[in-house]
Amino acid sequence: DAKTTQPNSMESNEEEPVHLPCNHSTISGTDYIHWYRQLPSQGPEYVIHGLTSNVNNRMASLAIAEDRKSSTLILHRATLRDAAVYYCILRDVSGGSNYKLTFGKGTLLTVNP
Amino acid sequence: NAGVTQTPKFQVLKTGQSMTLQCAQDMNHNSMYWYRQDPGMGLRLIYYSASEGTTDKGEVPNGYNVSRLNKREFSLRLESAAPSQTSVYFCASSEVWTGPYGYTFGSGTRLTVV
């Protein structure tokens, strides 16, 4: 199964950009890259997903390396409300071995005021 | 607000007791899921329902049963609760089983088995 590797924790300052890295060197052609976050005492929340091209939405941007072996979630201006665990997950939309959404331990993002 | 609603939010059970966790979604999603999250861990899939009328085992199904009551509702039952089932339980839904669609999660049920 294709897996992802994320740092256990990162720190940022409020109103500064945050770049959260994810490595997925064994990604397959039908694996979408999904990002979720989980705020304290809440359920996970969908953030963004992409396949090959960079993606932007109101919450964040997703930058995908040309070889697709890594990606970066970008929060353009971190706020205290962005403090959460961020999960990078591969999901095989062809119904292959990664079709289930499988959560690792993620990256704990701390935002300093 | 549209979303996934879980009841109850908190529950304490004695070992051997049974209970049912309820989940309902109002987004007309076809697929629904039950996850559990233990302290300091990621979420693990217990059971899922790809579409109304179907259910299947996930990563950690032992000790649980599920019912897809209709398109909106997906319940999780603990027949004889054990302390190892102390966890936070999350229900989720998605538009379809495959496809790149995001999941929507409920706010969780915090279960303690003593």
Q: Report the pLDDT value the prediction gives residue B24, as an integer from 0 to 100.
A: 98
Q: HSE on the CB side for B97, CA within 13 Å?
A: 12
Residue B110 pLDDT > 80, yes or no?
yes
Higher pLDDT, B1 or A109: A109
Alpha helices in chain B (DSSP H): none
> Looking at residue A96, what is its pLDDT?
62
Element (H, E) at A9: strand A9-13
Q: Which residue of chain A has the CA closest to B90?
A: A43
Interface test with A, best of B4, B7, B105 (most A CBs within 10 A): B105
CB of A62 within 8 A of CB of A72? yes
Q: Does the CA dihedral B51-B52-B54-B55 come out positive or negative? A: positive
Could you tell me which residues come within 8 angstroms of residue B76 by beta carbon, excluding any fewer than 6 positions away? B20, B21, B23, B34, B46, B47, B64, B65, B66, B89, B91
Q: What is the pLDDT of residues A48-75, one digit of tens each?
A: 999 999 999 998 999 999 999 999 999 9
Radius of gyration from C-alpha coordinates of chain A: 13
Q: Is the pLDDT of residue B32 over 90?
A: yes
* Chain B environment of A32 (Cβ under 8 Å): 100
Which residues in B have their CB inside 8 Å of a CB on A? 4, 33, 35, 40-45, 48, 58-59, 90, 92, 97-100, 102-108
pLDDT of residue A2: 60
Whether residue A1 is predicted with pLDDT greater than 60 in this model: the reply is: no
**Contact yes or no for A64/A3 (Cβ under 8 A):** no
Residues of B in contact with A51 (CB under 8 A): 100
Could you give the count of Cα atoms lying within 13 Å of B19 in the half-sphere of its Cβ? Answer: 22
Mean pLDDT, to the nearest integer, of A3-26? 96
The Cα B61–Cα B101 span in angstroms is 24
What pLDDT does A97 receive? 57
Q: How far is B41 from chain A (nearest CA, A)?
A: 6
Flag if B42 and A106 touch (Cβ within 8 Å).
yes
Query: Region B76-86: what's the mean pLDDT?
Result: 96
